[in-house]
Structure 1
């Protein structure tokens, strides 16, 4: 797993979609530059597909990190499509508003799912109709 440069934080996100209801949930781990746990969260994002849920996780992670004064952010995602969309020079023209917000703030890299199972497990903790962010410290 790639660590963030000094002075940065690293956000690992993952989304889970229930195949029977199409309800999406996201999980996120926010780590310090040396890989230490700072916080995590999970959230139900409603009826979704994997790309939309991952983008919601990225956006929510950015907002949460910024609310704690973390302004230099490396996002790591296992969703290739999300990474390509946000890294695209033409992202401002994307039909996904979530892509615009992600592009404005961060560096982003593709992270294979097997390298960070924590965000995946946190995503699976969310269930029900609670659309609030649950912060884990």
Structure 2
């Protein structure tokens, strides 16, 4: 018998920021959107974004979301930033490298350059249950006009999730 795991978001260390990213593709239409948010070490919202991308593959959506998040980190001149995503493919691409024949190499290289400008920290994996605010921002991206939307204040519907994460409230991840 498998037991469920408890998953909780963790604050970044003092004087650090954390960028949480989520990419979403609807299974029926293939429409894609992404979202992300930047927190400080006190669990305070710094900024966030949603992006309605149109039709795209899951990996290209994750990369576009990361690129938009890294651009935002760079624009805000935030150093010491940690990165979390629920995509193990993304974690592996950024932490282990990627072959020069990869079809998304140009976007990956753009992201690598942006990342170097704001942090030397590796990408970390977080289960979807610990990344719920970014997941909700991606869902909101599906409802937004096709473009990037920078959010300097959190949308009302995300506030309960932000409070839960700030308190490191665990969420159940069912064992597979």
Question: TM-score scaled to structure 1, two decimals?
Answer: 0.87
- Number of corresponding residues: 136
Q: For residues 57-94 of structure 1, give each alpha carbon's deviation from its aligned partner in whole angstroms, at most 9, with x where no partner exists.
A: 11100001111111332110000111111111x33736
Is the 8 Å Cα contact of residues 32 and 142 (structure 2) preserved in structure 1?
A: no
Does the 8 Å CA contact 1:94/1:100 hold for their aligned counterparts?
A: no
Structure having the higher Rg:
2
Runs ≥4 in structure 1, deviation > 4 angstroms? none
Report if the CA contact (8 A) 1:87-1:103 is conserved.
no
Normalized against structure 2, the TM-score is what? 0.69
**Once the 2 structures are TM-superposed, how far is the Cα of residue 41 of structure 1 from its aligned partner?**
0.8
1:64 match? 72
SS in 2 for 1:93: coil
Report the CA distance shift for 1:99/1:20 in structure 2 as closer, same or farther (over 3 A).
same
Q: Name structure 1 gaps, 5 residues minimum.
A: none
CA-atom RMSD in angstroms: 2.0
Note the residue ranges of structure 2 that are not aligned, 5 or more in a row. 1-8, 154-176
SS in 1 for 2:142: coil
1:41-52 matches, within 5 Å, as 41-52=49-60
